[in-house]
Structure 1
Amino acid sequence: MAERTRSGARARTSPPAGSAPPVRKRPKNRKAQIATVAAEAFSERGYHGVSIEDIAKAVGISGPALYRHFPNKYALFVQAVNQLADALDAALSQFDDDIPDDGAAAILDNRLTATIGMTIDNRRTGGLYRWERRYLSDDDQAKVRGKMAVINRRLAQTLRELRPGLTATDAALLATAQLSVIGSITTHRVPLATRRLQTLLLDACRSVAATSLVPDEPAAAPTERTGIAVANKREVLLHEAVLLFDARGYHEVSIEEIGAAAEINASGVYRHFASKADLLAAAFHRAGDRVALAVSSALADSSTPAQALEHLTEVYVELSFAQNALMSVYFAEIGNLPAAHRSDLRNIQRLNIEEWARLVADLRTDLTPVECRILVHAALNLVLDVGEMTRFRNSASNRRRTVDLMLAVLLGDAATRRDSEASAASTGTRT
């Protein structure tokens, strides 16, 4: 019989000598647990920056034990991406049969609140979608994007019920912008209390929902390029590298492929760049310089914070649409930079964010500096997601619509009131 302690509790006794150790039960949700840990690792370090051994160690199991659940790292990656998409779908679908007395506005708030809550809960894993486009097979990519399209349609349908005059295309655009605003918190680690973060994101999404979109117009037919080709081989290499990094991801591209695209052999590439990492760093410095130039020119041409923010959004959108591959690489691939470059370039990005946030703070005295930075991240994230949805169609109306969505996020009700007044005062298209 086991001894009792002074308190009367039964004391633990060691098993008899020679007896088998107790069998540890495997958690029923082990596969989902592994996928969650993997998603966090992939989100932080990218697909190629994580090994099966890293994930197994984080879960607390051996590599062979992990292989009992997933045959390889790619299968684990697919599971992690799909698990995140399914969680988002579940958060939204719970309101499919819910029809509050307040109608479409309440339904939209419910859907947005659920999406925000799910994203906050999965903030450490949400960055996974930065890598999805590059590393999933065509079939798996199509499946995930099909799930995301269903999620977008749920929001878009509610937006059309709230604003019956919206076209299906415009509602989908607003839904994309809302999802981008919410998802932006997975791209940075700016801290804010959960309740305040929920309110901030919900208010920004409401402002997006109320944004008046100028009529969309097709882009002008591209003019035939008749200029002289760039002779500087370093510039040609940098240009081709950015296109390949954007299309396939840094790790999927070799120096030989970059050289072939630039019509230079591999040894010729090394005369201009010591390594592929140096090519990526050069792309980051190029993008950082252009963003910094956009900020300084907008400030120099403005006399008030409101005017400066308007100019800055216009210049930034124009840059992003004209140089979309460069800007996409700038935001997606920083984790692949060598440590020596990464710290400096993160500081450059941080300083640019601070300039934006300072302007917002001058116009939004109701917000703290931290809240202003979060909204800036949301507005910048929106440009790439809306741009990708519209295939960066570089028309004046498409750029204007993107600018107005950015300003709705940054200025909140002030931007909404401005758009309403402009819409009531004129039936023409702004340019």
Structure 2
Amino acid sequence: MAISDKLPVATTRLTAAQRRAQLAEAAARRFEEVGYHRVSMADVAADTGVTAPAVYRHFRSKQDLLAGAISSGLDLVEQTLAQKADNPLEEVVAAVAELVLDRRYLWTLLQREARFLNAELYADVQAHFDRAINEFIRRVRMHRPGLKSRDARLLVTAATSALATPSVPRSAPRSLIGRELAEAATRVLLVPMPTGNSANGGPTPKPAEPHDGTNTRRTKLLDTAIELFFHQGYAAVSLDDIGAAYGIAGPSLYHHFATKSDILVAAFARATDRLIEEHAQPRAGKARSLAELVDQYTDFCLRNRTLVGIYVSEAINLPPDSQRRIKTALRNRVSDWSTALQAEYEHVEQRAARVRATTALTVIDDLVRLGHFHTRPHIAAEIRAVAMAILTGESQLDT
């Protein structure tokens, strides 16, 4: 379905505020679907049935439009939190879940597209986001007075990630998805944090070697490109940037990769191959338990943080055939997890199991790749506890 089919064109005259909100939502959906660099002001104008100059009357530039799209969504989150100021925590989460169910683009824009804003607009968006998150943290700590602020931030980030899970099964009805995501986020916010002996599961895994055991120039160039894509975004990195970071002239890269797209495809192939290799390790014919699947994936992500970051954020830039392979791999992983979940928790219905598996995988990815959570001393145990709470409905760590 085209984006222009999703937003009906108004037949009555809108106020300036209504028009601005309409443009912001249309732009948000465009940015989510194709990425900031592939959207024009004319695209947004066409989606809303106005002329390009009309868009410029509300937003001075595409940068301003992206910032406005994000801020418009954050305004709604803040309004929802304010309206539920005196409600129990689970009702607050349910209200936010209902809000974001049709606006999952907000998390994508914050985590994938906001980095393309100029410094001033990025600072404004970050301050706005911090206000909303800090209010959410305040509400959680009112419910859990002994919870440290830094721990509350991790749990709120995980809950927000759960609420915004982008690829839930299409076969699941909206009511089931909303309920599962709201309940998962609430469970996450109530997970006890590991202390002392409860921080089981061993130390945080060490990062994987940046390359696959070979020292060829091609492999090292790929290592360099992966780091740049992770920190700057694929669209903002040129072949000259990669060459300069490695220490060769940009055109020399053509001896190893025909296009920048080929480098991205190679990065995804590396991530996929590593995942398949780990999953295929001998198990003496015995299927992995749900906890083992969570442990394995958590460890993999912590060892391959930059690859995971690219896997999540840059799939939009892959050629269509590569995108299809990635989606197939994700469906297979969700199927493995949902099958293990139902084998151990027979009361969980199949569609609910798939929603939970998708949500848990999303949250693991986000806790590993975002901010500095990966440096926390017990992050592996914390991620596992959060993921298992999402999957099973049970807290995994004793207080």
Equivalent residue runs for 1:415-426 within 5 Å: 416=395, 418-420=396-398, 423=399
Segments of 5+ residues of structure 2 without an aligned counterpart are 1-10
Equivalent residue runs for 1:29-428 within 5 Å: 29-96=18-85, 98=86, 107-123=88-104, 126-184=107-165, 186-188=166-168, 190-215=170-195, 231-297=215-281, 300=283, 303=286, 308-388=289-369, 391-394=372-375, 397-413=378-394, 416=395, 418-420=396-398, 423=399
State, as a whole percentage, how many aligned pairs show the same letter.
27
Q: 1:291 to 1:65 in 2, by over 3 A?
A: same
**Local SS of the residue matching 2:164:** helix
Stretch moving more, 375-384 or 132-141: 132-141
Q: Is the 1:363–1:411 Cα contact (8 Å) retained in structure 2?
A: no
Cα shift readout 1:133-173 (whole Å, capped 9, x = no counterpart): 42122332233232322333333233333333322222222
What is the TM-score of this pair, normalised by structure 2?
0.86
**Local SS of the residue matching 1:419:** coil
Q: Is the 1:47–1:131 Cα contact (8 Å) retained in structure 2?
A: no
Q: Is the 1:81–1:132 Cα contact (8 Å) retained in structure 2?
A: no
Deviation at 1:48, TM superposition (A): 0.9
Deviation at 1:303, TM superposition (A): 4.4
Q: Distance in 2 between matches of 1:94 and 1:26?
A: 26
Deviation at 1:191, TM superposition (A): 4.3
Q: Distance in 1 between matches of 2:52 and 2:383?
A: 46
Q: Is the 2:63–2:118 Cα contact (8 Å) retained in structure 1?
A: no
Q: Distance in 2 between matches of 1:84 and 1:137?
A: 19
Cα shift readout 1:386-425 (whole Å, capped 9, x = no counterpart): 2355615356622111111111111113xx2x534xx5xx
**Local SS of the residue matching 2:386:** helix
Q: Is the 2:64–2:121 Cα contact (8 Å) retained in structure 1?
A: no
Q: 1:347 to 1:215 in 2, by over 3 A?
A: same
Cα shift readout 1:351-406 (whole Å, capped 9, x = no counterpart): 22222222122223233333222212211221233235561535662211111111
Q: Distance in 2 between matches of 1:400 and 1:344?
A: 31
Q: Distance in 1 between matches of 2:28 and 2:15?
A: 19
Q: Distance in 1 between matches of 2:382 and 2:14?
A: 52
Deviation at 1:124, TM superposition (A): 5.2
Q: Distance in 2 between matches of 1:234 and 1:389?
A: 28
Q: Distance in 1 between matches of 2:258 and 2:22?
A: 41
Q: Distance in 2 between matches of 1:290 and 1:392?
A: 23
**Local SS of the residue matching 2:163:** helix
Q: Distance in 1 between matches of 2:172 and 2:222?
A: 38
The AA in structure 2 aligned to 1:242 is I
Q: Distance in 2 between matches of 1:24 and 1:357?
A: 47
Cα shift readout 1:322-358 (whole Å, capped 9, x = no counterpart): 2211101101111111123222222222222222222
Q: Distance in 2 between matches of 1:242 and 1:133?
A: 19
Q: Distance in 2 between matches of 1:62 and 1:301?
A: 64
RMSD of Structure 2 on Structure 1 (CA): 2.8
**Local SS of the residue matching 2:135:** helix
**Local SS of the residue matching 2:397:** helix
Segments of 5+ residues of structure 1 without an aligned counterpart are 1-22, 101-106, 424-431
Show the counterpart of 2:7: none
Stretch moving more, 258-267 or 234-243: 258-267
Q: 1:201 to 1:36 in 2, by over 3 A?
A: same
The AA in structure 1 aligned to 2:113 is E
Q: Is the 2:239–2:251 Cα contact (8 Å) retained in structure 1?
A: no
Q: Distance in 2 between matches of 1:187 and 1:393?
A: 24
Deviation at 1:192, TM superposition (A): 2.5
Q: Is the 2:180–2:352 Cα contact (8 Å) retained in structure 1?
A: yes
Count of residues in correspondence between the two structures: 379
Q: Distance in 1 between matches of 2:370 and 2:310?
A: 17
Q: Is the 1:302–1:311 Cα contact (8 Å) retained in structure 2?
A: no
Deviation at 1:79, TM superposition (A): 0.6
Q: Distance in 2 between matches of 1:129 and 1:191?
A: 27
Q: Is the 1:119–1:182 Cα contact (8 Å) retained in structure 2?
A: yes
Q: 1:153 to 1:199 in 2, by over 3 A?
A: same
Stretch moving more, 370-379 or 282-291: 370-379
Q: Distance in 1 between matches of 2:79 and 2:389?
A: 28
